[in-house]
């Protein structure tokens, strides 16, 4: 459970294990902001091991997207299962994010 941060070439990959919800969203936010502060600009959040996301989790992704964009960086979301994609579609956040099928696809071209 938690967030695993790794680097693949010039891209920071954050694997979300378990839930991304109100109780742990600040932990994800801080991990990404720390990397942004260090100069990292390319980020992939990978959801292949994620159970569910609540509105607070969605909100923190929106917040991080803005902060990364402000630094001329890029954020991609990868490996959303059908349920998680449903949440993005319901809230129309699928129009705000770059969402790709796999972690490998997310890394391509970043």
Partner 1 sequence: MDQELVLELPNDIRSIEHAVEYVTRHCSSCGDHARRLNLNFRVGLTEALSNAMLYGNGSDPKKRVRVEVTVGVEEVSVRVTDQGVGFDPETVPDPTLPGNISKTGGRGIFLMKALMDEVQFNERGNAVTLVLRFEGKASV
| Residue 51 binding partner 1, by CB under 8 A | yes
| Residue 75 binding partner 1, by CB under 8 A | no
Residue 53: its H or E element: strand 50-53
The structure tokens 């920071």 sit at 12
Contact (CB, 8 A) for 8 and 98 = no
| Residue 30 binding partner 1, by CB under 8 A | no
Binding footprint of partner 1, residue count (CB under 8 A): 26
Q: What is the DSSP letter of 102?
A: S
Beta-bridge mates of residue 15: 4, 46
> Please, what is the minimum distance in Å from the beta carbon of residue 6 to partner 1?
24
Q: Which residues bind partner 1 (CB under 8 A)?
A: 19, 21-24, 51-56, 58-60, 62-63, 66, 83, 86-87, 90-93, 95-96
């Amino acid at each position: 459970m938690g967030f695993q941060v790794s680097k693949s070439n010039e891209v920071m990959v954050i694997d979300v294990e378990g839930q991304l919800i109100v109780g742990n969203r600040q932990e994800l936010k801080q991990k990404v902001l720390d990397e942004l502060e260090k100069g990292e600009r390319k980020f992939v959040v990978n959801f292949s091991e994620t159970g569910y996301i609540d509105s607070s989790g969605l909100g923190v992704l929106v917040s991080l997207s803005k902060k990364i964009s402000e630094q001329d960086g890029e954020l991609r979301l990868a490996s959303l299962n059908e349920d998680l994609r449903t949440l993005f579609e319901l809230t129309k956040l699928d129009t705000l994010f770059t969402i790709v099928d796999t972690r490998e696809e997310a890394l391509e071209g970043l």
